[in-house]
Structure 1
C-alpha cells in the first residue's frame, strides 16, 4: 500500500517532472504537538481557512513567478508532519525532494522538559536519512510560543537559549523564535519562509542573540564565545541541558490513548457493572489478563 507522501507525489508528478533544481524548493516541517506549525504554514500560504490538526502528514505547495509578469515560476513543495516522532524516519524515506531542501524543526518553548527530546529525535532522524544522501537539507530550528516563553524566569530563558544556540552552531542551522500572537514575529517567520521557498536562503539582515529578546540567528553567524560557553560536543550540550532541566518521564502513549477512548462516552450503569465484573476477576485463582491493565481501565 502506498504511503500518503507517495500518493501525493504521484498526483503532482507531472508538474514536478517539468521542474528543475533552480525552479523548485522543498520545505519539511516537524516538531512539537500543537506548537503552531499549521498556523505558520497557513499564514505563509495566505490560507483563510482555520488550521486543522495534522494527524500524520500534509502536503501543500506555493507558486511564484521568478520575475514580474514572468512565465517561469518557482514551485515550493511543503510537507508538514504531525504524527509520532518515533516514526519520522519512515516518513522521510518516502518524501520526494525537489530542488533546495529545508528541514524545519519547531519546538514548544513552553514545554521545557520536552525540548531536548524533540530536537534530538527530529535532528537524529534527519541525519539518519540524509547523512549520505545528495539531498542534504538546510536545518532551521524554530522556537514556538515565544509570547508565553518571554515571561519565564530569566535563568530558564538563558539556559534554553544557550542549548538552542549550541545545537544550531553544531548543526550549522538557522535559529528563529516565533509566535502567531505577536505581529512582528509572525511577519519575520513568514518572510523567512518566503525567502527559503522562493528566494535563496534565510535573510541575514536581522540578527539577535540576546536571550532577553526573541532569537534570530542565521547560520554561520554565531560563535561559542558569543554564546558564553566553551566549544562543546553534542553529548556535552545534552548533559549541560538535562542536568538543569531533566526530561519529562516517558509515558505509555498507547495506554493513555486507550483509556481516553474508553471514557469518551461514560455510562454510569455500565461502569458500575464493569466494576463488579472486575472485582470478580480479581478474586479468581487464575487469570491470564494482567491485573494492572484491569486496574487501569476500571479507574
Structure 2
C-alpha cells in the first residue's frame, strides 16, 4: 500500500505496530496528507484488549477520516470466518459506543457518517434496507489466495460466498490478494494493485479505481 515497488515479503506484525504514510495533498504542492496506520495481531486476548481501548481503537477525533482493514489468512481457511465475525462484532460495539457518546454531546457526526455510507452504497440498491452500515469504510482483504487455490473446490465456494455475504451485509469491501509467491505476478499482481488503489482512494482521496470491462 505504501510502497508499490517493494517486492520483498512483509514481516508478520508483532502485537501492535505503528507506521505512517504521506502523499502530496491535492491542490497544494507544499502540503502533505499524513495517514497514521496501526496494525494489530497476536493472541486474541491482546486484540480484544486493544479493541476495548477507546484512546487507541477508533478514538472519537478520528472517526470522520478512519478506515478499517480486516486481514484474513486464506492459508488457514478454517479461521477466516471466525476472525471476520469477531472483528465485525468488535467494530460494531466500538462504533455504537462512540456514536452514543457523540449523540449525547449533540453531535450530528454519527448520522452524517451513516448517511454518507448509505449514499455510497446506493439509495436505489435492492439490499439497502438489509445492510448494517458502520459509517466508516471497512475493507476486508483475504490474503494468500495462492495458498487457497489448492483447497477443495466446494469448500472454496462455500467460504468465498460466506465472506461475500458478511461483507455485503455490513457494507464492507472485499478483495482477494496473493501473498506467498514473490514477486507477485499475473492476476495476483492485478488484485494487489486494485487493493492499493482502493486504500489510496479511501485514505488519501485519490481517484477511484476504474476497472475495464
Q: What TM-score do the two structures reach when normalised by structure 2?
A: 0.66
CA distance in 2, matches of 1:111, 1:91: 23
Contact 2:175 2:191 in 1 (8 A): no
- Specify the alignment match of 2:193 in structure 1: 187
- Specify the alignment match of 1:81 in structure 2: 40
Cα shift readout 1:136-193 (whole Å, capped 9, x = no counterpart): 4322111111112233332122111110011011111101001133322222222222
Q: What TM-score do the two structures reach when normalised by structure 1?
A: 0.49
Unaligned runs of at least 5 residues, structure 2: 100-109, 111-134
- Specify the alignment match of 2:98 in structure 1: 133
1:123 to 83, 88, 91: 88
1:197 to 194, 197, 203: 203
Residues 131, 206 of structure 1: alpha-carbon distance in 2 compared, 3 angstrom cutoff: farther
Bigger relative CO (Cα 8 Å, ≥ 6 apart): 2
Cα shift readout 1:205-227 (whole Å, capped 9, x = no counterpart): 3399xxxxxxxxxxxxxxxxxxx
CA distance in 2, matches of 1:164, 1:87: 24
C-alpha displacement of 1:48: 7.9
Q: Helix, strand or coil for the counterpart of 1:114?
A: helix
1:206 lines up with 2:211 in the alignment: yes
Residues 204, 132 of structure 1: alpha-carbon distance in 2 compared, 3 angstrom cutoff: farther
C-alpha displacement of 1:49: 7.7
CA distance in 1, matches of 2:177, 2:75: 12
CA distance in 1, matches of 2:166, 2:82: 13
Higher alpha-carbon Rg: 1
1:152 lines up with 2:136 in the alignment: no
Q: Helix, strand or coil for the counterpart of 1:185?
A: helix
CA distance in 2, matches of 1:53, 1:193: 20
2:69 to 104, 116, 129: 104
Q: Helix, strand or coil for the counterpart of 1:71?
A: coil
Unaligned runs of at least 5 residues, structure 1: 1-40, 209-299
Contact 1:64 1:75 in 2 (8 A): yes
1:55 to 14, 20, 23: 14
Equivalent pairs counted in the alignment come to 166
CA distance in 2, matches of 1:146, 1:200: 27
C-alpha displacement of 1:198: 0.7
Contact 2:15 2:46 in 1 (8 A): no
- Specify the alignment match of 1:247 in structure 2: none
